Each structure stands twice: as C-alpha cells, then as structure tokens.
Structure 1
Amino acid sequence: MIIIMNQKKLCYGSAIRALDFAMTNYPPACERFVDVMGLKTAFPAFMGKIPTTKNKKRSKEELEERLISLVASLFGKKVEF
C-alpha cells in the first residue's frame, strides 16, 4: 500500500482505506507502517497534495476521515465518527 501511495495515482484513497482497515485495533500493523516510513507518504494528504476524483469534496472529506482514523490507530485510541 505504501508503494501505491508513493505513486500518487487515483488509487491513493483506496490504499488509505485498506491501511485504515488493516491498522484498526491491530498494533503490529501500526508498528510495521511506521517502520516502512508510512508516515512520510501519508502526511502529504493532510496538506492537500493528493489526486482527487470527480466528486472532489466528498472524496476529500472521506480521505481526511480515513487519515484521521489511521493516525488515531497509531496512537492506540478508538475514534468513532
């Protein structure tokens, strides 16, 4: 998933979604994400430097929600929206 995120193609959102699912309530996946420099590829999305689809507003909001959930997983907290 990190490789897909580095390519910054339209499947970036799907990679974030898969990582969010994998890292929720599973600390070994969180540790692996940090070990392979996943934060370096995830944080540009917070700055808006990611590709978007036709429905920009909805896709951007969903991506931000997934990223917040991903970061919350790294802190070990459960966040519900």
Structure 2
Amino acid sequence: MLYSTPGLTSDDLRVIEDIEAFRSEFRHRLAEPRRWQGQLRRSLTAAAVRGSTRIEGYTITPEDAETLVAGGPWRERTEPP
C-alpha cells in the first residue's frame, strides 16, 4: 500500500458525532417523500385508470382521471369528453 489512512483525531470524532446528531434530529424531514414523486405516482395511476375505463367503453379526460385518483369530487358529464 502506498499510503495508509490516518487515524481519527478527537476533533474528527466530535464532528462525526455532531453530524449523527443532526441526522437523528432531522431524520423525519430527510425521509419525507418529495412532491414530484407523489405527482408522478398520481399521474401514472391516472393513466392506468384512463386505460382501464377505455377498455370498458368509457372515456375520461386526463384531468378527470387525476382528480379521481387524488380523491377529488367527481362530476358526472352528460356530453362526451
């Protein structure tokens, strides 16, 4: 081996402890899902809903499908979309 890894000093260990303390304190924020992941999931589910309803002979708009997936109010249409 050309170079060996130097040992940790007391300052190094203190900084590592501080970093671990920050990780524990903010773990709930770091693990929070990002908004775009939720939107991506809703969009993909809405596309699947549209495909499924199209097979059954019904057609809904992408906006109506996303509203349905998000749990929003469903409105009945009298004219085709």
Give me the TM-score of the superposition, normalised by structure 2.
Answer: 0.24
Q: State the structure with more CA Rg.
A: 2
Give me the TM-score of the superposition, normalised by structure 1.
Answer: 0.24
Of Structure 1 and Structure 2, which has the larger fraction of its residues in helix? 1
- Relative CO higher for 1 or 2, CA cutoff 8 Å, sep ≥ 6? 1
